[in-house]
Amino acid sequence: MTRHLLSIDDLDVTQIEEIFTTAAQMHDVQRREVKKLPALRGRTVINLFFEDSTRTRSSFEIAGKWLSADVINLSAKGSSASKGESLRDTVLTVTAMGIDGLVVRHSASGAAEQISRWIDVPVINAGDGTHEHPTQALLDSYTLTRRLGSLDGKHVVMVGDLTHSRVFRSNVKCLAKLGAQVTVVAPPTLMPAGVSDWSKEAGFATSYDLDRVLPEADAVMMLRVQRERMSGGFFPTAREYTVRYGLTRDRLGLLQPGVPILHPGPMNRGLEISADAADAVDSVVLDQVSAGVAVRMSVLYHLLAGEPALNEGGQA
Amino acid sequence: MSLLIKGASLLGETTADVLVADGKVQEVGSVTAKADRTVDADGLVLLPGLVDLHTHLREPGREDAETVLTGSRAAAVGGYTAVLAMANTSPVTDTGEAAERVYDLGRQAGLVDVQPVGAVTKALAGEELAELGLMARSRARVRVFSDDGRCVADARVMRRALEYVKAFGGVVSQHSQDPSLAGPTACCHEGELSGRLGLPGWPGVAEEVIVARDVMLARHTGSRVHVAHVSTAGSVEVIRWAKAQGIDVTAEVTPHHLLLTTDLLSGYDPTFKVNPPLRPAEDVEALRAALADGTIDAVATDHAPHARHDKEHAFVDAAFGMLGLETALSVVSTVMVERGLLDWAGVARTMSERPARIAGLDHGDRPHGRPIAVGEPANLTLVDPQAKVVVDRADSVSLSRNNPWHDRKLTGRVLATILRGEPTVLEGALAR
């Protein structure tokens, strides 16, 4: 297994499948009355969050605790630059406390990768700016796999603010590795720079027309759109965005029956996703949350447990 | 002291001995006279002392990153005899007194002529003109004005600045970058790689629209505009067109934009974070061609030292800029001379003669960029064109270590620098 998980690029298909296999075992543990496994007993994991997050931080915290790790949450809000301390000094200080793994969330793209060059404990990227969020992509694909079986040849449609989305960047890589066909949909102003060359090379399709792609989707993944983007001139009004790119009640009718609807949260109900879609029988939004814990348990286990077998001292 | 340089190839063209005494070139040809010191220059190229239109010496304000003295050392080691020190210090060089202070620090250091650049606007805020005329008539005789680090974005302010400096033969050196075409956190070239990396970028067009606007303003005002650190093929096209129209525009390119490309950012190493950003290979090719054909007049380093901790932030938070003074000649030699794009006379033109003329340093009591001829001031740079250099950032005489050339193999090396007859560098090391 990889030493750090900074990007989906760090994993090959075999490793992704290995993570899923372990995640499925962990998923079963979630349903037990006593959820603790001893796998990371005596290990200390720090969740170092330079950016606010409730769900990702709690998900990593629960995952670590169910593996018996000592999990400490450190919030280091605001850029270290503004506090006068360099990022390197902040990270070296935290690491010097004697830890076994660092889960990092930062508002700056590349922060996790930079950090991994400064310290010698495994670093897990819990979201770096608008770059990647690899555990989110893993849990999304894991959720889809449980729903659809193999993703080979399946058509996944991703819709939303692609420019500012780390979820999109990780997912497009993860889905491609698993053989899925991906179409990303956004207004031209929210397509990343150079996407036409990138998509050609990486093998995904782009579209400005949601209505045209929805009927061919095997799964649809809605991405969060921040209302502040309007002030940046990315689109005129929330109303117009919803009409053109929202998963409205009307658009649900364009989907084939049984097509799962995903959203990484937090949802802007009424903007990119209607209540009808969020609460539809085919919405797997809450499955994603529970899969998140299982996948993060699996990742922590593979990166931090070292040699001892999963079954040591307990059954999984 | 007299100095005899034996058998150097002058501008790579004719071989001759050069005798220097009393600050001037006394003899050129076959010299039989004895000198206090003789340098065997067989196989070496002699150039007029290099002139840098664009350095950041950080004093006053950030003396932990560089001082006028340490920056002067780096300049001398790089073969420079004159440098222009940008105004974005703390406080900003926006008054005559501030300009004289930098000028005096340069005289005290005594290794290169340090010519302060004045701010175009007060505190570089882009709103009100700084005291351009008082800087011009100060002891520092400022002729180049720039808000470098920031663009004079307001067309009205730029127009007035261009008009105003005509009274004393000044020039506005513009950091061409429309701030409204990128977010406040832009930190790299906007393109496929920035899209993949999730980094906010400046598109090339943010530079090009300002270059286009400014050449039209220069035509309208009949004034002179200088485009600092040109970085895109589109800007080159605009400048080429403007020159063909007879518009009074000049331009510079940095060594790093002649060789380094945006793909170096793929590992988020802030050493390569610079403004304007490293661009794709197509732009680099266009810049080389433009320097070779004269569309771009000069090579300027944009030497930008930073304390280590200012680069050890997340990429978007880290400081902009890279070292350049000590390696510029080697880079130009490697990129332009070795590939046959420029001969040594072309190096003299783009690194000494033209920059001196643009800055108004080619005349007056301490001129630079002059021919190597009897009676001219002995500002000279001696280069070993064959030397292979592996850059080691630890070897730098700068106070800072943000060196993008670390571990790179370059060809050509400065062996000696002579300022008005006095060696500042001999055998590749500081002589004093």
Which residues of B are documented as binding site? 54, 56-58, 88, 148, 175, 229, 275, 302, 306, 320-321
Candidates B193, B194, B262, B268, partner chain A, best to mutate (most A CBs within 10 A): B268
Task: Tokens for A36, please give them.
Answer: 């603790």
Q: What is the mean pLDDT of chain B?
A: 97
| CB-based contacts of B346-351 (< 8 A; 24+ apart in sequence) | B346/B292, B347/B47, B348/B11, B348/B47, B348/B48, B350/B291, B350/B296, B350/B297, B350/B298, B350/B299, B351/B47, B351/B50, B351/B51, B351/B298, B351/B299
Q: Which domains, and CATH codes, for chain A?
A: 8-133+290-304 (3.40.50.1370), 136-288 (3.40.50.1370)
User: For the CA atoms of chain B, what is the radius of gyration?
Assistant: 20
Number of other residues whose CB lies within 10 A of the CB of residue B33: 11
What tens-digit pLDDT sequence spans chain A (316 residues)?
A: 899 999 999 999 999 999 999 999 999 988 888 889 999 999 999 999 999 898 999 999 999 999 999 999 999 876 555 667 899 999 999 999 999 999 999 999 999 999 999 999 999 999 999 999 999 999 999 999 999 999 999 999 999 999 999 999 999 999 999 999 999 999 999 999 999 999 999 999 999 999 999 999 999 999 999 877 777 789 999 999 999 999 999 999 999 999 999 999 999 999 999 999 999 999 999 999 999 999 999 999 999 997 544 444 444 3
Binding residue per annotation — A263?
no
* Residue A165: closest C-alpha in chain B: B198
Which residues of B are documented as binding site for substrate? 56-58, 88, 275, 306, 320-321
Candidates B202, B205, B313, B402, partner chain A, best to mutate (most A CBs within 10 A): B313
Indicate yes or no: CB of A86 within 8 angstroms of CB of B312: yes
User: For residues A218 and A87, what is the distance between their CA atoms, to the nearest angstrom?
Assistant: 42
CATH architecture of B3-45+376-430: Roll (2.30)
- Asked if A79 reaches chain B (Cβ–Cβ under 8 Å), the answer is yes
Are A87 and B315 in contact by the 8 Å Cβ rule? The answer is no
Are A169 and B196 in contact by the 8 Å Cβ rule? The answer is yes
How many helices (H) and strands (E) would you count in chain B? 13, 19
In angstroms, what CA-CA distances link B363 with B113, B202, B358, B369, B417? 14, 38, 11, 9, 20
pLDDT at A80: 57
Q: How distant is the Cα of A63 from the closest Cα of chain B, in angstroms? A: 27
The DSSP code for B273 is: -
Q: Decide if pLDDT at B402 tops 70.
A: yes
Task: Tokens for B16, please give them.
Answer: 């001759």
The ipTM assigned to this model is: 0.92
Give the one of A114, A129, A193 whose C-beta lies nearest to B191's C-beta.
A193
pLDDT at A307: 53
- Asked if A161 reaches chain B (Cβ–Cβ under 8 Å), the answer is no
User: For residues B390 and B405, what is the distance between their CA atoms, to the nearest angstrom?
Assistant: 9
* Residue B190: closest C-alpha in chain A: A193
Task: Tokens for B197, please give them.
Answer: 């990396």
**HSE-CB of B414 using CA atoms within 13 angstroms:** 32
pLDDT at A313: 41
* Residue B184: closest C-alpha in chain A: A232
User: For residues A160 and B280, what is the distance between their CA atoms, to the nearest angstrom?
Assistant: 28
pTM higher than 0.80 for the full model? yes
* Residue B199: closest C-alpha in chain A: A109
Indicate yes or no: CB of B313 within 8 angstroms of CB of A79: yes
The DSSP code for B338 is: T
pLDDT at A312: 43
- Asked if A111 reaches chain B (Cβ–Cβ under 8 Å), the answer is yes
Binding residue per annotation — A83?
yes
Kindly report, residue by residue over B266-287, the tens digit of the pLDDT.
999 999 999 999 999 999 999 9
Candidates B264, B315, B402, partner chain A, best to mutate (most A CBs within 10 A): B315
Task: Tokens for B319, please give them.
Answer: 């400081």
Kindly report, residue by residue over B192-228, the tens digit of the pLDDT.
999 999 999 999 999 999 999 999 999 999 999 999 9
* Full DSSP string of B40-98: E-TT-EEEEPEEEEEE---TTT-TTT--HHHHHHHHHHTTEEEEEEPS-SSS-S-SHHH
Q: How distant is the Cα of B145 from the closest Cα of chain A, in angstroms? A: 30
Kindly report, residue by residue over B89-126, the tens digit of the pLDDT.
999 999 999 999 999 999 999 999 999 999 999 999 99
Of B11-15, B44-48, B55-59, B179-183, the least confident: B179-183
- Asked if A51 reaches chain B (Cβ–Cβ under 8 Å), the answer is no
Chain A partners within 8 Å of B192 (Cβ) = 193-195, 197-198
Q: Which CATH number is associated with domain B52-358?
A: 3.20.20.140
Residue B239: Cβ-neighbour burial (10 angstroms; 0-12, 13-18, 19+): buried
Residue B347's closest CA among B46, B24, B18?
Answer: B46
pLDDT at B397: 98
Chain A partners within 8 Å of B203 (Cβ) = 193
Which residues make Cβ contacts (< 8 Å) with residue A93, sequence separation at least 6? none
Candidates A10, A106, A114, A167, partner chain B, best to mutate (most B CBs within 10 A): A114
Angle, alpha carbons B115-B120-B121 (nearest 5°): 130
Indicate yes or no: CB of B201 within 8 angstroms of CB of A194: no
Angle, alpha carbons B69-B231-B113 (nearest 5°): 20
pLDDT at A30: 83
Q: Decide if pLDDT at B245 tops 80.
A: yes
Q: Decide if pLDDT at B259 tops 80.
A: yes
Average pLDDT over residues B363-380: 97
Give the one of B197, B203, B267 whose C-beta lies nearest to A109's C-beta.
B197
Number of other residues whose CB lies within 10 A of the CB of residue A252: 17
Chain B partners within 8 Å of A194 (Cβ) = 190-196
Q: How distant is the Cα of B315 from the closest Cα of chain A, in angstroms? A: 7
pLDDT at A82: 63
Which residues of B are documented as binding site for Zn(2+)? 54, 56, 148, 175, 229, 302
Give the one of A80, A131, A195 whose C-beta lies nearest to B197's C-beta.
A131
User: For residues B268 and B259, what is the distance between their CA atoms, to the nearest angstrom?
Assistant: 18
Chain A partners within 8 Å of B312 (Cβ) = 86-89
User: For residues B421 and B3, what is the distance between their CA atoms, to the nearest angstrom?
Assistant: 7
Number of other residues whose CB lies within 10 A of the CB of residue A299: 28
Chain A partners within 8 Å of B191 (Cβ) = 193-194
In angstroms, what CA-CA distances link B366 with B46, B78, B332? 20, 20, 26
The DSSP code for A312 is: T
Domain ranges of chain B: 3-45+376-430, 52-358
In sequence order, what are the beta bridge partners of A47?
A73, A103
Residue A287's closest CA among A30, A102, A50?
Answer: A30
Chain B partners within 8 Å of A169 (Cβ) = 196, 198
Indicate yes or no: CB of A195 within 8 angstroms of CB of B195: yes
- Residue keyed to tokens 């649809």: A220
pLDDT at A297: 97
Binding residue per annotation — A55?
yes
pLDDT at B88: 98
Residue B405's closest CA among B74, B56, B64?
Answer: B74
How many helices (H) and strands (E) would you count in chain A? 13, 9
Indicate yes or no: CB of B196 within 8 angstroms of CB of A110: no
Q: Which phi and psi (to 5°) does residue B174 adopt? A: -100, 135
Chain B partners within 8 Å of A128 (Cβ) = 198
Enumerate the active-site residues of B.
302
Indicate yes or no: CB of A193 within 8 angstroms of CB of B313: no
